[in-house]
């Protein structure tokens, strides 16, 4: 359980890093989709 929360924290921080920099919108969208999918996977367990 602890590992899952750590993983989600890393994903969220990755997403925030993408938000803070002026990356391409496509990259931002892919990061957001990846974050949502990963959170969904974590909730299945």
Residues 38/5, Cβ–Cβ less than 8 Å: no
Q: Where are the domains of the chain?
A: 2-44
pLDDT for 23 equals: 57
pTM summary value: 0.38
- Which of 36, 38, 19, 41 has its CA nearest to residue 28? 19
Q: Could you give the CA distance from residue 34 to residue 42 in angstroms, rounded to a whole number? A: 12
Could you report the per-residue pLDDT of 6-39, keeping only the tens digit for each? 777 777 777 666 555 565 667 777 878 888 888 8
Q: Is the pLDDT of residue 44 over 70?
A: no
* pLDDT value for 33: 85
Residue 3 pLDDT > 70: no
């Amino acid at each position: 359980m602890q590992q899952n929360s750590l993983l989600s924290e890393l994903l969220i921080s990755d997403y925030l890093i993408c938000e803070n920099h002026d990356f391409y919108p496509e990259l931002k969208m892919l990061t957001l989709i990846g974050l949502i999918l990963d959170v969904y996977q974590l909730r299945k367990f």
